[in-house]
Amino acid sequence: MRLAGTAIAGSGIVRFGDHRRRSTAELARDAGLAALHDAGMTLADVDEAFVGYIQPGSLLGVRAMKELGLTGLPVTHVENASATGLVAFREAAWAVASGRARVAMALAFDKMTEMAGGGGRSRGTGRDQLDATILPAAYFALWAQRRMHDRGTRPEHFAAIAAKNWNHGARCPWSDRQADHVVTAEEVLASRLVAEPLTAMMACPADDGAACVIVAAEDLVRARQPGRRLVRPVASVLRSETYSPGHTFLGPVVGPATMTRDTAAAAYEAAGLGPGDVDLALCHDAFANEELEYYELLGFCPEGDGERLVETGATALGGAIPFNTDGGLIARGHPGGPTGLAIVHEIVHQLRGEAGDRQVEGARTALAHLVGGGSVCTVSLFEGTQ
Amino acid sequence: MTARVPVEDGYFTVPDDPAEAPRLLGSRCPACGEHFFPRRHVCARCLAEGCRDVLLGPRGRLWTWTYVHVPLFAKKDARVGAYGVGQVDLPEGPRVQAILLGGPGDFRIGMDLELDLETLRTDDDGREVVIFRFRPVDGAGP
């Protein structure tokens, strides 16, 4: 179903990075205030909030919201691993589209510096050793190795994607990684090998951060923000896995590739759009090989043609379909929950024409994609209008 | 002979004879015949209830693999500085992700692997706590 009658009222971010001296509530407050200021609102204008994080602990979202005020608004917690922020956004968008709320906030925060080293929820040592000990780099590397076997992909392709995203990040003021030189594929390849064929520079950093997006009824945004370009979400879809033979149930896994294809197809259908209509895309590039796969699974080229997109520079700024214009998870960073809202924050800048020297010329339509825990996928589509 | 116990019940067998390969504990759907690992009650293919316990393996074929140059179990167990990880297709159907025994040059896609048990530690009763791994079948090297 097409999302109708909603628009982005505002967005805000606390630059991702090392914030170990600040509390998550403080990070959330600053991101929330930034979005409220951008929207020209206070919490009194907000009818409902959806708050996401993946760190352990219950009700942290409600507690963080109190830093913005105590207005009695309903607060719902959302958790879908790396997809958390974009799923919180989906709930906010649909809360407004349904008419239940005139203004809804999606807020997310996390501190990966506190999660690193196995600080997550334990399900008992035995179960953990069966299920959770394998490093994320490893299961994405398993995907990369199979791709290389099937398609003749070379590590240079993954390195070129990573280098592109490092260089995009250097153009984005709130990107965590700000390289002081043009990063080359050679440099990425020469960095420490983590899990064959993935190197350290092909992986996202462990970040802290917070981000917030406020969705409101379109007429309200038009009335309050005359003269500003309107950014409207037109589809927001969430799917979990579909069973097919050979499914891997135990262990942290990438999840079936069909999940991204099916979710994107549902989003395109809902919006009445196709990949050819999209001017830029932001996707889950926790590891560079993922982005290559998503070129195909999101429909931007036929299966097996992803390498050609890398080789021709089509997905770099200035190319036909720029991917991860803010640096993606690899450079802008990936604190977990907030990542999806950082993606929307970048799309808002691009579709308002306010993305500075990383502006995609004439950008009108953008796609946001995230996967979470190998078990969920979410895709949203946005249109910018005068 | 030292007694051996699984790190978690319900996932794999621990044969009395150490020379005997362990098996994985899976399920088979009584309605459609689909196999699963680990065990489950509801069939993921046809949604029938009451899947039956079945032994799977011990052999499988390597679908994909990697070699990780970061300690296993992160800080909790830095004894293993690097290790292989693979996804192994069992003849019954399930694809199982597991740690592989062997060095970085020992694996290739499509090779035959066999289940094995690795001792993680000795518990307070002097029993070896074991977990399942896959290792290349002798003679199946790259």
A-interface mutation test, from B27, B28, B47, B68, most A Cβ less than 10 A away:
B68
pLDDT at A253: 81
In the predicted structure, residue A258 carries a pLDDT above the cut 70? yes
Residue B107 corresponds to which tokens in the numbers above?
């694996």
Are A117 and B75 a contacting pair at CB < 8 A?
Answer: yes
B-interface mutation test, from A123, A150, A202, A243, most B Cβ less than 10 A away:
A243
Residue in B7, B65, B76 nearest the CB of A126: B7
pLDDT at A132: 56
Q: How confident is the model at residue A206 (pLDDT cuts 50, 70, 90)?
A: very high
B27-72 pLDDT, tens per residue? 999 999 999 999 999 999 999 999 999 999 999 999 999 999 987 6
Rounded average pLDDT over A203-208? 94
Rounded average pLDDT over A243-269? 92
Residue A111 phi, psi dihedral angles, 5° rounding: -130, 100
A61 near A77, Cβ under 8 Å?
A: yes
Closest residue on chain B to A256 (Cα): B95
A12 near A32, Cβ under 8 Å?
A: yes
Contacts of B68 in chain A (CB under 8 A): 134-135, 137-138, 141, 194-195
Helix/strand/coil (H/E/C) assignment for every residue in B48-98: CECCEEEEECCEEEEEEEEEECCCCCHHHCCCCCCEEEEEEECCCCCEEEE
Q: What percent of chain B has pLDDT over 90?
A: 85
- Confidence (pTM): 0.95
Chain B residues near any Cβ of chain A (below 8 Å): 6-8, 11, 34, 36-38, 40, 44-45, 63-70, 72-76, 85-87, 89, 93-99, 104, 109, 120, 131
Are B45 and A134 a contacting pair at CB < 8 A?
Answer: no
* Reported ipTM: 0.92
Chain B closest-CA separation from residue A79 CA (Å)? 24
Q: Which strands make up the sheet holding A365-372, listed edge to edge?
A: A230-240, A376-385, A365-372, A280-282
Are A243 and B45 a contacting pair at CB < 8 A?
Answer: yes
In the predicted structure, residue A370 carries a pLDDT above the cut 80? yes
pLDDT at B73: 57
A326: left (phi over 0), alpha (psi -120 to 50) or beta: alpha
Chain A closest-CA separation from residue B38 CA (Å)? 7
Contacts of B72 in chain A (CB under 8 A): 133
Q: How confident is the model at residue B142 (pLDDT cuts 50, 70, 90)?
A: low
Chain B closest-CA separation from residue A78 CA (Å)? 26
In the predicted structure, residue A123 carries a pLDDT above the cut 50? no
pLDDT at A151: 97
Contacts of B73 in chain A (CB under 8 A): 118, 129, 133
B90 near B60, Cβ under 8 Å?
A: yes
Are A126 and B8 a contacting pair at CB < 8 A?
Answer: yes
Average pLDDT of chain A is 94
In the predicted structure, residue A357 carries a pLDDT above the cut 90? yes
Rounded average pLDDT over A252-280? 95
Q: Any residues with CB less than 8 A from the CB of A228 and at least 6 apart, and which?
A: A352
Residue B12 phi, psi dihedral angles, 5° rounding: -160, 160
Residue A381 CB coordination number (10 Å): 28
Chain A closest-CA separation from residue B67 CA (Å)? 5
A33-86 pLDDT, tens per residue? 999 999 999 999 999 999 999 999 999 999 999 999 999 999 999 999 999 999
Residue in B69, B99, B104 nearest the CB of A194: B69
Contacts of A126 in chain B (CB under 8 A): 6-8
Q: How confident is the model at residue A340 (pLDDT cuts 50, 70, 90)?
A: very high
Element of type H or E holding A380: strand A376-385
In the predicted structure, residue A360 carries a pLDDT above the cut 90? yes
How far is residue A368's CA from residue A378's CA, in Å, rounded to a whole number? 8
Strand partners, A289: none
Q: What percent of chain A has pLDDT over 90?
A: 90
In the predicted structure, residue B123 carries a pLDDT above the cut 70? yes
Rounded average pLDDT over A166-188? 98
Rounded average pLDDT over A232-254? 93
Rounded average pLDDT over B13-21? 95
Are A143 and B44 a contacting pair at CB < 8 A?
Answer: no
Contacts of B100 in chain A (CB under 8 A): none
Residue in B37, B67, B94 nearest the CB of A195: B67
- Give the torsion through C-alpha atoms of A289, A292, A293, A299, to 10 deg: 160
Contacts of B64 in chain A (CB under 8 A): 142-143, 145-146, 149
A16-26 pLDDT, tens per residue? 999 999 999 99
B-interface mutation test, from A198, A247, A375, most B Cβ less than 10 A away:
A247
The more confident residue out of B74 and A294 is: A294
